[in-house]
Chains A and B, each alone.
Chain A
Amino acid sequence: AQSVSQHNHHVILSEAASLELGCNYSYGGTVNLFWYVQYPGQHLQLLLKYFSGDPLVKGIKGFEAEFIKSKFSFNLRKPSVQWSDTAEYFCAVKKAQAGTALIFGKGTTLSVSS
């Protein structure tokens, strides 16, 4: 069965600090990879996704993620965080097949102080 592991439960940073959130998954086949963000009081939004091609993908709001197939990892990064990045971040995986559901990691709470 697929599973997703997020390494950090709660990350606290100051504004302008760099961010990296770890995500590893277990599945032997081809997968599509996602990061979702949930801002306080808002619904889940897609941050970025990887299906194929360049393993470094860029998303909204300056976020990027790198897919490393050999490590089954899809880590999220941002060079300089802002207070408005305070949110819950979820890594998710699905089989590369239409109609299959997402499997989520437990999430990482990011708190950015100004």
Chain B
Amino acid sequence: SAVISQKPSRDICQRGTSLTIQCQVDSQVTMMFWYRQQPGQSLTLIATANQGSEATYESGFVIDKFPISRPNLTFSTLTVSNMSPEDSSIYLCSVDRDSADTQYFGPGTRLTVL
């Protein structure tokens, strides 16, 4: 399995501000994924981040709202920009261990927007 850490674990933010979430993995991985879990809902894929290229966003998610960086093979950030209360969710980082083809998840960042 992979050890994945996320920072911050939780935050309460004001409407209109931005928050950057960090994801650190204990080993090099090619693909990293960002998911959102809204209250009482399932996980929805936001984007796929491949090191060295721009992230690929799912329908309904745009780079201006959720910019992603992937500077190396063990780290990625997701920024939630110009936040509104609708952005209150748990944001999860996930990695696909290539040889195992299984995704492992970080502990998540619980975001509340007031």
A105–B44 Cα gap in the complex (Å)?
9
Judged by a CB distance under 8 angstroms, whether B88 is at the interface is: no
* Listed stretches B11-19, B72-80, B101-109; interface member: B101-109
Q: What is the 8 Å Cβ interface bit string for chain A, positions 73-114, against chain B (1 contact, 0 not)?
A: 000000000000000001000101011111111110000000
The prevalent SS among residues of B at the interface is strand
- Size category of the B interface is 20 to 34
Q: What is the 8 Å Cβ interface bit string for chain B, positions 75-114, against chain A (1 contact, 0 not)?
A: 0000000000000000010101010011111111000000
Known: A43-B107, A43-B108, A44-B92. A102 touches B45 (CB 8 A): yes
Contact status A104-B96, CB under 8 Å? no
Within the complex, the shortest CB–CB distance from A68 to chain B, in Å, comes to 21
Contact status B45-A103, CB under 8 Å? yes
User: Which B17-52 residues sit within 8 Å CB-CB of chain A?
Assistant: 30-31, 33, 41-45, 48, 50
Q: Which residues of B contact A106 (CB under 8 A)?
A: 41-42
Contact status A99-B30, CB under 8 Å? yes
A110–B86 Cα gap in the complex (Å)?
27
Q: Which residues of B contact A101 (CB under 8 A)?
A: 33, 45, 48, 94, 96, 103
Of chain B, the residue at the smallest CB distance from A100 is B96
Q: Which residues of B contact A96 (CB under 8 A)?
A: 101
Known: A99-B30, A101-B33. A34 touches B102 (CB 8 A): yes
Q: Which residues of A contact B45 (CB under 8 A)?
A: 101-103
Chain B CB within 10 A, most for which of A34, A44, A45, A100: A44
Contact status B106-A43, CB under 8 Å? yes
Contact status B102-A49, CB under 8 Å? yes
Q: Which residues of B contact A32 (CB under 8 A)?
A: 101
User: CB within 8 Å of B: which residues of A?
Assistant: 32, 34, 36, 43-46, 49, 51, 90, 94, 96, 98-107
Question: What are 7 A-B interface contacts by the 8 Å CB criterion?
Answer: A46-B102, A90-B43, A94-B103, A99-B50, A101-B48, A102-B43, A105-B42
User: CB within 8 Å of A: which residues of B?
Assistant: 1, 30-31, 33, 41-45, 48, 50, 92, 94, 96, 98, 101-108
